[in-house]
Amino acid sequence: MIDPDGQEHRFGAGDIAFFPAGTACTWRITEHIRKVAVVRETIWRPLGFVLKVSKKILRGEPWHLKSNANEPPTESLATDC
């Protein structure tokens, strides 16, 4: 890979690279390679929650809200009569 400054970077099997948004570069490929790309953009937190819950519902998985780990456990609601 040649960056805009003309500096060449070489990648081999098992290497991982991070390219920030807007990165421009030139690739020089001398042999067959396989590239895997992951694009991640942050989304509005409430929307992310809705998407996560809806996926679980569609898959038929049980779901529950996570409790705060700093809170003490709540008492049982069952009573002896």
Would you say residue 77 has pLDDT above 70? no
Query: pLDDT value at position 44?
Result: 84
Residue 17: its pLDDT value, please?
85
Torsion of CA 22, 29, 13, 35, to 10 degrees: 50
pTM of this structure: 0.38
Residue 75 lies in a domain: no
Chain segment 5-23, per-residue pLDDT in tens: 888 888 888 888 888 878 8
Q: What is the pLDDT of residues 29-74, one digit of tens each?
A: 888 888 787 777 788 888 888 888 888 888 887 766 666 656 555 5
How far lies 13's CA from each of 9, 31, 61, 78, in Å?
14, 12, 38, 59
Would 21 be classed as within a structural domain?
A: yes
In a domain, 78, yes or no: no
> How many domains are there within the chain?
1
Q: Can you give the residue range of the structural domain that contains 36? A: 1-64
